Amino acid sequence: MLHSLPLHRFNESIVLPAADIERIQAMGEPPMRLARHAVLRREGEPPRFIYLLIEGWVASSVLLPGGDRQITKFHLPGDLLGTPSMCLERTADTLTALTPASVSRVSLASFGELFQRSPSFAAAMLLSIQRERVALMDRLAAVGRTPALARVSALLLDLAERLGALSGGTIDEFELPVTQEQIGDHLGLTAVHVNRVFRQLVDTGLIRRNRQRVTLLDRQRLRSVSARQEREPAKDVSWLVGGQAGA
């Protein structure tokens, strides 16, 4: 029983019936604990499982032939991990715990069964994956077209927003349990340069920082330097779920 699984990600545009919520919680195996740096799944393996992240942060990353790494997503509790690779013979992304974490493994078989059994779950999945796709498009635009300062600012705003959604409030101070090298791998920058950008953000009064705790001091200015588009989730998805009105 995963009574501790945050469910906000499953109810973003569609409110799932209680029966579905139960089935989601039932499809996962008993949670397992991961130490920091533990590899949950390595790329190249045949995909047989996906994972519900219950607690902690996990990075999903892709390796380039040259040995460089691209972190495709910093996952927070409530996220469903490793799903992109379900369409491949061999897994594309490596899942690594950034902090001690707790995850529940889900076999593709149980996922598939729920997807087939519950139309509302299938619909919620469809929309959720499209949201991830839009996020990827936005980050691609940032990495391809914006300077380092904008990328780091955008990341901080994005994390604050997601942590807020997770806790159900607004957050402007949070723990960033992530190495500057990992931030670089996420944004297409060097650890050294990430460090310089942080310095700049502090020096210009946009954020405060001690150790890994970050405080957003001037959201307004941060937003304007970040060149980030606000994306509002669809409110009315009745075209997809038939009977149901919007959330």
Partner DNA sequence: CGTCATCTTGACCCAGTTCAATATAGGTGG
Partner DNA sequence: CCACCTATATTGAACTGGGTCAAGATGACG
Which distant-in-sequence residues (6+ apart) come within 8 Å of 146 by Cβ?
154, 227
Q: Hey, what amino acid is at 140?
A: L
Residues in region 188-217 near DNA by CB under 7 A:
188-193, 195-196, 198-199, 211-212
User: Pattern 196-215, binding to a second copy, x per CB under 8 A?
Assistant: --------------------
Coil, strand, or helix at residue 65? coil
Which distant-in-sequence residues (6+ apart) come within 8 Å of 191 by Cβ?
179, 180, 181, 183, 184
Q: Which does 200 bind (CB under 5 to 8 A by kind): a second copy, DNA, none?
A: none
Using a CB cutoff of 8 Å and minimum separation of 24, what contacts does 125-129 make? 126/240, 127/12, 127/13, 127/14, 127/234, 127/237, 127/240, 128/9, 128/10, 128/12, 128/80, 129/83
Query: Looking at 2-10, 15-23, 124-132, 198-206, which segment touches a second copy (CB under 8 A)?
Result: 124-132
Q: Which does 180 bind (CB under 5 to 8 A by kind): a second copy, DNA, none?
A: DNA
User: Pattern 64-103, binding to a second copy, x per CB under 8 A?
Assistant: xxx-xxx-x----------xxxxxxxx-xx----------
- 247 belongs to the binding site for a second copy (CB under 8 A): no
162 vs 228, which CB is nearer to a second copy? 228
Q: Hey, what amino acid is at 76?
A: L
Dihedral pair phi/psi, residue 13, rounded to 5°: -115, -25
- 127 belongs to the binding site for a second copy (CB under 8 A): yes
- 192 belongs to the binding site for a second copy (CB under 8 A): no
Residues in region 225-244 near a second copy by CB under 8 A:
227-229, 231-235, 239-242
> Which residues in 193-206 are b (16+ Cβ under 10 Å) and which e?
ebeebbeebeeeeb
Residues in region 160-179 near a second copy by CB under 8 A:
none
Biggest CA pair distance of the chain? 55
Q: Hey, what amino acid is at 128?
A: S
25 vs 200, which CB is nearer to DNA? 200
- The footprint of DNA on this chain (CB under 7 A) covers a number of residues equal to 19
Q: How far is the CB of 201 from DNA (least distance, A)?
A: 11
Neighbours of 49 (CB within 10 A): 21
CA–CA distance, 95 with 111 (Å, rounded to integer): 19
Task: Give contact residues for a second copy (rule: CB under 8 A).
Answer: 13, 47, 62, 64-66, 68-70, 72, 83-90, 92-93, 107-109, 111-112, 115-116, 119, 122-123, 125-134, 136-146, 187-188, 227-229, 231-235, 239-242
Chain residues that interact with DNA, rule: CB under 7 A: 147-149, 179-181, 184, 188-193, 195-196, 198-199, 211-212
